[in-house]
Amino acid sequence: MANWAVVVTLLLSAVAVGEGCGGGAACSAVPSTLDGPFAPVTVRLDDEAFRGEAVDLPETDPRVVRRVRGFEPEQISVSLSATADSVWISWVTGDFQMGNDIQPLDPAKVASIVRYGRLRHHLGLKATGHSLVYSQIYPFKGMQNYTSGIIHHVRLTGLEPSIRYFYRCGDPSIPALSTIHEFRTMPVSGPKSYPKRIAVVGDLGLTYNTTSTVDHMKSNKPDLILLLGDVTYANLYLTNGTGSKCYSCSFPNTPIHESYQPRWDYWARFMEPTVSKIPIMVIEGNHEEEEQVGGKTFEAYSSRFAFPTKESGSNSTFYYSFKAGGIHFVMLGAYISYNKSGEQYKWLLRDLASVDRRVTPWLIATWHPPWYSTYKAHYREVECMRVEMEELLYSYGVDIVFNGHVHAYERSNRVYNYTLDPCASIHIMVGDGGNREKMAVNHADDPGHCPDPATTPDDMGGFCAFNFTSGPAEGKFCWDHQPDYSAYRESSFGHGILEVKNETHALWTWHRNQDSYKSTGDQLYIVRQPHKCPILPNSATKMNLF
């Protein structure tokens, strides 16, 4: 039986390679994980030559100004529910307010309605949803408060998979309706069914680099966008609109870390032409924390996006799951408790146990800060999360992990507990979307760049990063060379595209902004080997499912 599984894998490999690059000599140039583990590669680029204009778009840019009137919908976006028969439509009506005497709008005065259907001029179906307003309040002299427009979320259900739908959103009684938009549902869940292309990007922001990233990304015609946190970088601004590449450097004496919330509105207006058509799924990053009065955090993130929390059995916007064809995605939160005794870990146990790999062979996990990065920036910063969760993800055979946070690109070999393992996950860090903070260029293994262990406390209050007790870095905090788990690293803005071909093969391509649209910076076939890596959760895992 095992030999037959090997034959099937080899046959599928030939099919996947043919689909991936069209056959011919060029196909053999694309390596696969079966060729690994790979010797570590570092591509060093001059920091300034490839940064472009790392400054934010101004509020006067025509792509971010308000173009609607009254309560007409704007900032329209589509996000997925847990399964292919449902999506969320989100939008904003009414303008935000900034100042000391703000009066929040009343959500009850504007209805949340979506008319939709399979024909552009016959939108015979109707769905209603809910709406809300959030505020960012600072009880300090000289700071301006913010209240949002009315944010609407409507869930459409009973949809057919892999079908194009047209829709209008708004309140027809005012009347205040959007123009007609369209989206395509995900394929039905099954081992032969996959979205053609999934874009993966992190730390996007709203700079001129961002515009290049989004243009490149759209040219690849993705069916789905994964945004790995750090969305707008609104918290690099004071409430008077003064911004900086380094908040703590420029504003060291502010009584609270301020945030200029209009940057969220600007970002959503810029992204609307893309995400009103292509579903976007987001997970929180550290720049979404945005503390305000009363200790509230992550208000903008939790309010502005629709998440399939209830549909996936979660009770939090910080973690959830969804399916896209034969892929099960697990979106995890690094800025909420991930301890084994916490609600997120218990939810993750239940969610992983519910995955039927005969239906969704691919299991992909994402969260913002990486466990495996060799850059000096944020080096081993979330070691506590890795210690708590890695064994669980490994036992359920997670195929790929996507992260952002570090402003560079890095792809690992298959690694578990810092050790090469043919059954472990590939970790891919895509934190190079275009933010205005400095690009990460220094590596922890570069001479003189190993950080002090005392400077690496976990954001959740733990401290787990110590000197290694075994292996090539025994007795040290950093390697003295690029670790063998790091296959490829490069400092450049860009994005990635994942193309799942079948049950065992997926083509991963990373695109650099400075290249032509059809060029690739890094490319690899990721190959699953279920016959060699059976999923056998241990008894302790099974005992703690509920």
Catalytic residue set = 378
SS3 content of the chain, % helix, strand, coil (to 5): 20, 25, 55
For 155, list phi and psi in degrees, rounded to 5. Answer: -100, 125
Name the residue with tokens 């994402």.
366
Number of residues assigned to the chain: 546
468 contacts 474 by C-beta, under 8 angstroms:
yes
95 burial (CB, 10 Å; 0-12 / 13-18 / 19+) is middle
Longest dimension (CA), the chain: 73
Between CA 223 and CA 502 the distance in angstroms is 17
Closest by CA to 178, choosing from 266, 274, 76, is 76
Q: How far apart are the C-alpha atoms of 277 and 115, rounded to whole Å?
A: 15
Report how far Cα 347 is from the mean position of its chain's Cα atoms: 20
Instruction: Specify whether the CB–CB gap between 437 and 235 falls below 8 A.
Output: no
Q: How far apart are CA 437 and CA 233, in angstroms?
A: 9
- Residues 383-420 as b/e (b if ≥16 CB within 10 A, e otherwise) read bbbbbbbbbbbbbbbbbbbbbbbbbbbbbbbbbbebee
Instruction: Report yes or no: 256 and 145 within 8 Å, Cβ to Cβ.
Output: no
The candidate with the shortest Cα–Cα distance to 198, out of 282, 20, 324, is 324
- Write the CB contacts of 162 (distance below 8 Å, at least 6 apart in sequence): 84, 184, 185, 186, 187, 188, 193
The amino acid at residue 254 is T
Burial status of residue 163 (CB atoms within 10 A of its CB: 0-12, 13-18, 19 or more)? exposed
Which of 521, 525, 518 minimizes the C-alpha distance to 493?
Answer: 521
